[in-house]
Structure 1
């Protein structure tokens, strides 16, 4: 009896403990739970996920799914079925992405599945998937948009397409990532899982000796079996052409990973599962677009070498209705009236039924010329309504003074909650358009936003797509002349002086910015000149008798300084007027002091008068003194880029000396 009570108590305590843990566990940390049943090698899966948390004003939240079955199979359905052809243990993974939800994505934990009964199937041709574009040997597919600090799955698929007319194909596949356009790496490849015997290899524009030797062995092995008459010289030529193809693809990326495969049967499709970690240092602009490219290099050089690229928008939250700009950071020097920007508005029908009309309204910044708008791509792909027949699927473009509406008419866009719709891609669409500036814009952020209306529903608003200009560096030259105003002591501000130097600041800045200056100045101080006459004192020089009648002492200083403004705060109020404040550090790189004493002698007894230089002393010091002075100035002219005229006031609080300097500056 005691034993039964103990067991019952332990079960209840364990259950309460588990419930307590789940009850106190933050919802964002609850992992995706995989439920399954398996019979005769066929497994049925279903997810168990944390509750969704709606965002005020957004559509109803929902999950999208990506299943990895542990044998090379996958699915994007919510509750998929999968048949295992072999017995064994398989790691099943579920990647659930929360859309229109204010929390984090549920963590993924592999679940061990044991299949004891293999499924015996009749030999037949492989069933093609819908993952590849027509005529393509390689494809990429992502389960979600990249989010800084989160992870993302990429499917790298390759196949022996029918056009190859080869019973078996061998070659190399690769994934290229981390655009050189961005300073920081956007992705880290955490894990690559392959299920078809692919072996890691190296892919570089100029391969290492080991990689080049391995690639030559692979191609030579192919020719030894397929074309035994080919020469090594011909193989070298083929490899050189391949290097050019690889170099052309690699020039835009910093990172790559490659695998070699053998005996890919006709019609066979294989997939490599790539788990990418999106780095926290990923560019923070959440409407920027990053790229990944897959490369297919068959050993048989008569087959086509292919590349397949995808563009992914960096997001702050998983929302399928997004607006992005192709290049978020632009060079202002190269931006003019004819500069063309590319925008893309993505949308997804999350309803329970199909949408027949989608209206994408875009607000246009005043810097753009609305008359230059042209549509470059759409999904669904439709023609312009101007040339369409009655009731044909088409796109109409309605341009206003500060907006444009792209209207998809007579289309069929399924809803994610529609019965029988399992392919999330079929519920998505986009419009991509290009637009030019009216004239060279101000160097300020450019904001654009879209509203999407499905049929007669309420509009869904996207993020703001922000275009910004890179800072750029603007070197400049400065030449000035300074003159004293008031002084209670003798120092370098009490003397007139010339300056010449250079400035460095951001290129063509509107508003406030920081500037660094470095220039040289040279000036002379006459500290003391004293003459005494009427002296009647006997002396002798070279046996001659004289009377000392005068004594003149002159002391002077010449100083050359290097002046540094480590940083000053400046403000361009408009194109023609600016001001600034800062502190100047003046360092004497050469301080030369001269001390001369001259006597006037009157001869006696017919001896002629003479002048005698009794002392000529010169003392030089280098880097002898450093001083700090505060300044404020105003400048007029082409203050952003070009020539300008400035007036600067210096004040030394230590000596109360002050000086005005007028200068000419030219920013390049």
Structure 2
């Protein structure tokens, strides 16, 4: 009995320990709600956060979807439901500065109250339209490979449109053609105002109707006779060409001042580019049927992240074409920051280390949030930004600002706690083809610095074709005594464009036709014979083999290393394949005959004794090492190549001239 009890206690203890070490990343967000006087208040229960060593304290950000077209980004929002039907509420919580996965979302059925609220103002609905347009996008987080992302697509009929009611089309464009793989899959769109799926292609395929000369041409689309001006149709087509995917909806009876929202559940694909410095784009499109109302586009840029961190540095178009990169190439950097503290920040110092390839004198600030002027032209205590340049760094210092803290009492708008500085910079000269790395440190007032990710600029590989003219190679495949071993060949190479250090190169040479003659035997005979009834005396007979070979030569693998821009070395293997081989045996007779006048005359007689033709008869592999001098990355150079054929134990030196483009 005691043994049984002991075993049970041990099992219970083991189970308790096992439960403590089980990962909590799969625990979904639990939604709680209470309804008082018609107002529903939400709260949540989330897994404990796990701090990252050296990072700020972790915290959650929230996106609530109430299930009736309303939403909130507050931790504990309040909402007023207009109906009494059961509804599904969702919470998408994002873990910032946490080393785990985001809590899964589990919809919670809600039973709205039947009573109307006594005080309508207790419900705080967010304001999405901060840019002043008819459409706007907002995501609950930056995209992380393998995670979900929610996107709110808001559209409205603002007073400036001058229309009491609007019908039209809205669309979302995603999956940039810049990337080989799709970054997103639109898993679901939840609409609450009768929006219906449509087709964007009908707006792109239009028929032209000629009108008066002085007026701009109008394109009429096939759907509901939507009128697009020529420049609008061109802009829509150009926007659509940049993306591989789109979703389109029709809306009707959009009242003046009315705001509507679409909730888009995006799944980031496992194939999403893993470069956490890359920026993906989404574009919203607003096309009202009424031609008097302006068509609008809203562009959103999202940085791919490895973890959710509101302080980020990003380089736009981080994959660059090295051929087109020179001294005047301008790069755009953007550093985002967020005050996650309990109080406001009056000063924000964004320190950026500047790579030595850049010219600091070309730095110019292009945009900031909060919007401020340069401190050189500011009056006393005015909000401003100052740029302080160091030897290998630059400080962007926001002064006399008010940036609320995310945990500050009374702060419900997370956007108000965020800011950024965007700047452009040029190269000193054409840089080396190496990654360009930059990082930033952000200091709020006198707090400890917060370090961002490293923004890395990389150059695309690119391809560099080359022309080769060689003397003294390639080898013939089978014979130890080479024929025409000082032949001239023409070939081509393919390598990455302007490699800085190590790289692979392949080569191929045009067929090298070789003709040669080997004297097999020669003998004096002194015999008599008759040719065409004329008596001759055979003085000698030579037996000669004639040969003609066409050899295809390929260097399938060659590792090269550029010591600097003037010297390069390499080693590899050369494969020779006889694609045509013709051997002819010739008997060459020297004949003597006596003329009628008694004089002696000699003549030659050639007889083909045997002829043999073969295709793809033999192959051979030889090895080489060489050195190049000149413009070895791009341009002309001369090379000296030492070749060794292990099959015949034959060595030789060859030289060549190459030009890489």
> TM-score of the superposition, structure 1-length normalised?
0.89
Q: 2:615 aligns with which of 588, 609, 622?
A: 622
Q: Which residue of 2 aligns with 1:228?
A: none
Give unpaired runs (5+ residues) of structure 2.
1-11, 208-219
1:620 Cα deviation from its structure 2 partner = 2.8
Distance 1:121 1:158, change over 3 A: farther
Which stretches of structure 1, 4 residues or longer, exceed 6 Å deviation after superposition? Answer: 15-22, 120-124, 483-488
1:16 Cα deviation from its structure 2 partner = 12
Q: 1:142 aligns with which of 123, 139, 142?
A: 139
1:501 Cα deviation from its structure 2 partner = 1.1
1:287 Cα deviation from its structure 2 partner = 1.3
Determine if the alignment matches structure 1 residue 43 to structure 2 residue 40.
yes
Q: Which residue of 2 aligns with 1:388?
A: 378
Distance 1:432 1:634, change over 3 A: same
1:483 Cα deviation from its structure 2 partner = 6.2
Determine if the alignment matches structure 1 residue 411 to structure 2 residue 408.
no
| Equivalent runs, 1:176-191 vs 2, <5 Å | 176-191=173-188
1:552 Cα deviation from its structure 2 partner = 1.1
Q: How far, CA to CA, are the matches of 2:502 and 2:441 in structure 1?
A: 33
Q: 1:219 aligns with which of 205, 219, 224?
A: 224
Q: 1:653 aligns with which of 638, 641, 646?
A: 646
Q: 2:285 aligns with which of 295, 304, 324?
A: 295
Stretch moving more, 656-665 or 54-63: 656-665
Stretch moving more, 402-411 or 591-600: 591-600
Q: Which residue of 1 aligns with 2:273?
A: 283
Distance 1:17 1:537, change over 3 A: closer
Q: How far, CA to CA, are the matches of 1:206 and 1:34 in structure 2?
A: 42
Q: Does the 8 A contact of 1:547 with 1:603 survive in 2?
A: yes
Q: Which residue of 2 aligns with 1:532?
A: 523
Q: Which residue of 2 aligns with 1:308?
A: 298
Secondary structure, counterpart of 2:25 in structure 1: helix
Q: How far, CA to CA, are the matches of 2:523 and 2:515 in structure 1?
A: 24
Secondary structure, counterpart of 1:27 in structure 2: coil
Q: 1:466 aligns with which of 442, 445, 456?
A: 456
Q: Which residue of 1 aligns with 2:112?
A: 115
Determine if the alignment matches structure 1 residue 76 to structure 2 residue 73.
yes
Q: How far, CA to CA, are the matches of 1:22 and 1:276 in structure 2?
A: 33
Q: How far, CA to CA, are the matches of 1:379 and 1:329 in structure 2?
A: 26
Give unpaired runs (5+ residues) of structure 1.
1-14, 221-234
1:484 Cα deviation from its structure 2 partner = 9.7
Determine if the alignment matches structure 1 residue 523 to structure 2 residue 520.
no
Stretch moving more, 624-633 or 65-74: 624-633
Q: How far, CA to CA, are the matches of 1:422 and 1:590 in structure 2?
A: 81
Q: Does the 8 A contact of 1:495 with 1:524 survive in 2?
A: no
Q: Which residue of 1 aligns with 2:627?
A: 634
Q: How far, CA to CA, are the matches of 1:393 and 1:120 in structure 2?
A: 42
Q: How far, CA to CA, are the matches of 1:527 and 1:635 in structure 2?
A: 36
Q: Which residue of 1 aligns with 2:467?
A: 477
Q: Does the 8 A contact of 2:204 with 2:237 survive in 1?
A: no
| Equivalent runs, 1:193-592 vs 2, <5 Å | 193-204=190-201, 207=204, 219-220=224-225, 238=228, 243-482=233-472, 490=480, 492=482, 495-520=485-510, 521-533=512-524, 535-592=525-582
Stretch moving more, 574-583 or 590-599: 590-599
1:567 Cα deviation from its structure 2 partner = 2.4
CA offset digits 1:511-551 (Å, max 9, x no partner)? 11111111122333433343212x23232233333332211
Q: Which residue of 1 aligns with 2:212?
A: none
Q: How far, CA to CA, are the matches of 1:502 and 1:395 in structure 2?
A: 55
Secondary structure, counterpart of 1:426 in structure 2: helix
Q: Does the 8 A contact of 2:467 with 2:491 survive in 1?
A: yes
CA offset digits 1:80-101 (Å, max 9, x no partner)? 1111100112111100000111
Distance 1:238 1:374, change over 3 A: closer
Q: Does the 8 A contact of 1:484 with 1:494 survive in 2?
A: no
Distance 1:304 1:488, change over 3 A: closer
CA offset digits 1:431-481 (Å, max 9, x no partner)? 000000000000110000101111111111111100000111111100000
Distance 1:46 1:480, change over 3 A: same
Q: How far, CA to CA, are the matches of 1:469 and 1:318 in structure 2?
A: 26
Q: How far, CA to CA, are the matches of 2:382 and 2:19 in structure 1?
A: 54
Distance 1:264 1:118, change over 3 A: farther
Q: Does the 8 A contact of 2:152 with 2:264 survive in 1?
A: yes
Q: 2:162 aligns with which of 165, 172, 181?
A: 165
Determine if the alignment matches structure 1 residue 55 to structure 2 residue 89.
no
Q: Which residue of 2 aligns with 1:226?
A: none
1:250 Cα deviation from its structure 2 partner = 1.2
1:592 Cα deviation from its structure 2 partner = 2.1
Q: Does the 8 A contact of 1:63 with 1:99 survive in 2?
A: yes
Secondary structure, counterpart of 2:324 in structure 1: coil
Aligned-pair Cα RMSD in Å:
2.8
Distance 1:615 1:282, change over 3 A: same
1:608 Cα deviation from its structure 2 partner = 4.1
1:499 Cα deviation from its structure 2 partner = 1.1
> TM-score of the superposition, structure 2-length normalised?
0.90
1:571 Cα deviation from its structure 2 partner = 0.9
Determine if the alignment matches structure 1 residue 28 to structure 2 residue 33.
no
1:498 Cα deviation from its structure 2 partner = 1.5
Q: 2:658 aligns with which of 643, 646, 665?
A: 665
CA offset digits 1:311-352 (Å, max 9, x no partner)? 111110001111000111001011000000000011111111
Distance 1:240 1:385, change over 3 A: closer
Stretch moving more, 597-606 or 325-334: 597-606
Q: How far, CA to CA, are the matches of 1:489 and 1:294 in structure 2?
A: 70
Distance 1:595 1:176, change over 3 A: same
Q: How far, CA to CA, are the matches of 2:198 and 2:492 in structure 1?
A: 51
Aligned length: 633
Q: How far, CA to CA, are the matches of 1:484 and 1:507 in structure 2?
A: 26
1:624 Cα deviation from its structure 2 partner = 2.2
CA offset digits 1:478-519 (Å, max 9, x no partner)? 000016999995265882221101111110000111111111
Stretch moving more, 69-78 or 519-528: 519-528
Q: Does the 8 A contact of 2:576 with 2:619 survive in 1?
A: yes
Q: How far, CA to CA, are the matches of 2:44 and 2:145 in structure 1?
A: 25
1:142 Cα deviation from its structure 2 partner = 0.7
Q: How far, CA to CA, are the matches of 1:121 and 1:179 in structure 2?
A: 49
